């Protein structure tokens, strides 16, 4: 029975048409119904305040008009921007979005994928970075395989090492662009503040930087790397730890903009360094706030909203499935130079 108490039969009766016709019009069946009949049914439904029964339709079709979107943290502008792009495309297709927030807990991610599968979502978009923790990819793969076997659609943002279509930002190349920028400004004493190393986006950004640094004939093993949460407060704490370890650092590479925001705050107070005159700071992501921070931030731009939209397009496009190889979209990145980087105050010895 319907919450409103109005049944599909009531709608059909009021329109003077059959139950089958009412069902075709209101439940979006592909069978053709004449325009006049469709209009009568719609008017009757509106008059009666009929609300269709989603779960009954889901049982009949074994899917719903809902897609699942899994993010690590909706309160992080990185995920909020991806979610906005994905939800814009979903809404254009008449789909609702069930958003699952893992709170950065990989076990919870797998749990949510199961829950969303049980809700018969039409597709699953995993927006969080892949995790290199032992056993995680295998466990996630097993759950996703069952979902895909039942006709569920899957798309990914960032590298997950899984056989589903994905939107893959050039994290390594971005790290390399940061290395070149700081190198060309004469910085030789660079410190890195990093998110959890089990995130593939973190390890890619880091290896992109160190690979390029070595290619300039410099020793990347000498670069201090301090880990922390991939958040503003994680960046604040890591910056303090970095300068305690080496007060001579002239530039910080923060592996995302949230950590860079924390670095700028820590450099201002309590450390008391001027940015960029004394210390340069580079971030990664180009969140919308990057240009508005206390020093407008030099960072690597990812088109986050577009990435979310592209991933949802991949999920909903028919050609993305069934092909021999999953279709991936490779997203180029660009360094955006703002006010937080300048030539090193004391250039190190040239390599």
Q: Which parts of this chain interact with a copy of itself (CB under 8 A)? A: 1-5, 49, 51-56, 58-59, 62, 64-66, 73-77, 80-81, 83-84, 87-88, 91, 96-101, 103, 112, 114-120, 142, 146-147, 149-152, 232, 261, 264-265, 288-289, 291-296, 305
Q: How far is the CB of 176 from a copy of itself (least distance, A)?
A: 28
Residues facing residue 93 across a β-bridge? none
Q: How far is the CB of 74 from a copy of itself (least distance, A)?
A: 5
Is 206 in a helix, a strand, or coil?
helix
d(CA 350, CA 342): 17
Which of residues 80 and 240 has its CB atom nearest to a copy of itself in the complex? 80
Q: How far is the CB of 46 from a copy of itself (least distance, A)?
A: 11
Intra-chain end-to-end CA distance of the chain, in Å: 77
Which of residues 167 and 179 has its CB atom nearest to a copy of itself in the complex? 167
Which of residues 101 and 280 has its CB atom nearest to a copy of itself in the complex? 101
Q: How far is the CB of 320 from a copy of itself (least distance, A)?
A: 19
Q: How far is the CB of 71 from a copy of itself (least distance, A)?
A: 10
CA nearest 128: which of 114, 112, 151? 112
Q: How far is the CB of 99 from a copy of itself (least distance, A)?
A: 4
Which of residues 69 and 300 has its CB atom nearest to a copy of itself in the complex? 69
Which of residues 113 and 170 has its CB atom nearest to a copy of itself in the complex? 113
Residue 219 makes CB contacts below 8 A (sequence gap 6+) with none
Residue 349 makes CB contacts below 8 A (sequence gap 6+) with 188
Residue 323 makes CB contacts below 8 A (sequence gap 6+) with none
d(CA 307, CA 326): 17
Which of residues 65 and 207 has its CB atom nearest to a copy of itself in the complex? 65
Q: How far is the CB of 220 from a copy of itself (least distance, A)?
A: 30
d(CA 172, CA 292): 26
Residues facing residue 69 across a β-bridge? 99, 125
By the 8 A CB rule, do 188 and 218 touch? yes
Which of residues 37 and 80 has its CB atom nearest to a copy of itself in the complex? 80
DSSP state of 281: E
Is 330 in a helix, a strand, or coil?
strand
By the 8 A CB rule, do 316 and 121 touch? no
């Amino acid at each position: 029975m319907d919450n409103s108490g109005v049944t599909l039969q009531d709608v059909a009766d009021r329109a003077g048409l059959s139950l089958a016709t009412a069902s075709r019009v209101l439940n979006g069946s592909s069978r053709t119904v004449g325009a006049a009949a469709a209009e009568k049914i719609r008017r009757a439904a509106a008059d009666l305040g009929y609300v269709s029964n989603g779960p009954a339709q889901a049982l009949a079709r074994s899917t719903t008009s809902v897609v699942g979107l899994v993010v690590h943290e909706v309160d992080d502008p990185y995920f909020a921007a991806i979610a906005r792009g994905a939800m814009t495309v979903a809404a254009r297709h008449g789909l609702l979005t069930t958003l699952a927030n893992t709170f950065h807990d990989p076990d919870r991610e797998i749990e949510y994928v199961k829950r969303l599968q049980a809700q018969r979502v039409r597709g699953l978009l995993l927006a969080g970075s892949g995790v290199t923790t032992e056993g995680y990819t295998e466990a996630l793969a097993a759950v996703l395989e069952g979902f895909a076997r039942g006709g569920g659609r899957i798309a990914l943002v960032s590298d997950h090492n899984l056989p589903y279509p994905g939107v893959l930002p050039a994290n390594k190349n971005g790290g390399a662009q940061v290395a070149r920028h700081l190198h060309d400004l004469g910085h030789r004493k660079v410190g890195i503040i990093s998110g959890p190393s089990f995130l593939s986006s973190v390890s890619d950004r880091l290896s992109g930087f160190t690979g390029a640094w070595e290619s300039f004939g410099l020793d990347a093993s000498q670069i201090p790397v301090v880990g922390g949460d991939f958040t503003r407060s994680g960046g604040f704490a890591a910056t303090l730890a970095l300068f305690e370890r080496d007060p001579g650092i002239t530039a910080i590479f923060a592996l995302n903009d949230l950590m860079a925001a924390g670095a700028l705050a820590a450099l201002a107070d309590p450390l008391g360094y001027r940015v960029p005159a004394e210390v340069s700071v580079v971030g990664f992501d180009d969140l919308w706030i990057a240009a508005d921070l206390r020093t407008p931030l030099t960072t690597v731009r990812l088109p986050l909203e577009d990435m979310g939209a592209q991933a949802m397009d991949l999920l909903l496009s028919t050609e993305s499935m069934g092909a021999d190889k999953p279709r991936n979209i490779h997203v180029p990145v660009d360094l955006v130079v703002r006010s937080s980087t300048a030539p090193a105050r004391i250039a190190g010895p040239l390599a």
